[in-house]
Amino acid sequence: KSQEQLKREVAQAAVAYIRPFFGADAVIGVGTGSTADLFIDELAKHKAEFAGAVASSERSAARLREHGVRVLDLDETDRPLPVYVDGADEINPLLQMVKGGGGAHTREKIVAAASERFVCIVDETKCVDLLGRFAIPLEVIPMAVPIVMRKVAALGAIATLRAGFTTDNGNPILDVAGMQLADAREMETTMNAIAGVVTCGLFALEPATVVMVARQEGVDIRER
C-alpha cells in the first residue's frame, strides 16, 4: 500500500472511531496536514451527524468549508470538544508527539487543549521510540528570533529559520535539531520557558489519548 493509501485508511478508521461522539450539538476538533486533510474528506461525508468543526488552521478551515462543513471558532463553543483528530510528525510509545511540520502547532495545541480526547492518526513511518529525529518547530515572536537561536545553541541544539514561512498568527518558525529528547516533558517545559517562544511543537506534557497507526496489514489502535 502507498503512503497515501495508508493515510486514507487511518482517516477512515478515525471517523468510525469517533462516531460515538457525534450528535446534534457535537463540535469536532480538526488538525492540519496531509493526513488531517484526508480525515476532513472522510469526516465531511457525515456532516449531517454533528454540528460543526473547529479547525486548527486556515488550510483546514478552507477544506472543511469546501465540503460544506460548518466551521466554528473556539469562542462559539460553550463546552469542551468531545474529540480532536490530528496527525503528527513523530509519536512515541507514550503517545508523546512532535508536531508542527505544517507550521500549525500553536492552534493545534490550543484546539487539542480545548478537547476531551486527542485521537492521533499516523502511518507507520511516524512511530519512533525516541522523539527528536524530526526537528522540533518553535513558533517565535519575530523580535525574539536572535535570542531564541542563542538560547537553543546554549542547550546544545541548532535552530534554523523556516525560510519564507509565517504561521496563521503571522510569526516565523525556528526548527530546532539536535535536541536530546530522553525526557520530552522536561524539554517541552524548557523550550516553553524561553522568552519569545509562542509554542513548541512537542506534545509531551499533554500527549495523545489514542493513536491509530495505519500499517500494511491494517490499522492498529493504541490507547494511553
Annotated binding-site residue? 52: no
Q: What SS3 state is found at 199?
A: strand
Min CB(88)–ligand DER separation in Å: 5
Min CB(91)–ligand DER separation in Å: 9
Residues touching ligand DER, count (CB under 6 A): 17
Reply yes or no on whether 206 is catalytic.
no
- The Cα–Cα gap between 46 and 190 comes to 41
Closest listed residue to residue 120, CA positions, set 53, 181, 5, 32: 32
Q: Is 88 in the site for ligand DER (CB under 6 A)?
A: yes
For ligand DER, the binding residues in 7-66 under the rule CB under 6 A are 31-36
Name the residue nearer to ligand DER (CB basis): 29 or 31.
Answer: 31
Can you tell me which of 6, 40, 69, 87 binds ligand DER, judged by CB under 6 A? 87
Q: In angstroms, what CA-CA distances link 80 with 74, 118, 139, 159?
A: 9, 12, 25, 35
Closest listed residue to residue 99, CA positions, set 80, 115, 76, 118: 118
Helices (H) and strands (E) in the chain, counts: 6, 14
Residue tagged active-site, from 9, 90, 108, 188: 108
Interface characters, 98-137, with ligand DER (x: CB under 6 A): -xxxx-xx--x-----------------------------
Say if CB 197 and CB 140 are below 8 A apart: yes
Contacts with ligand DER, residue ranges (CB under 6 A): 31-36, 86-89, 99-102, 104-105, 108
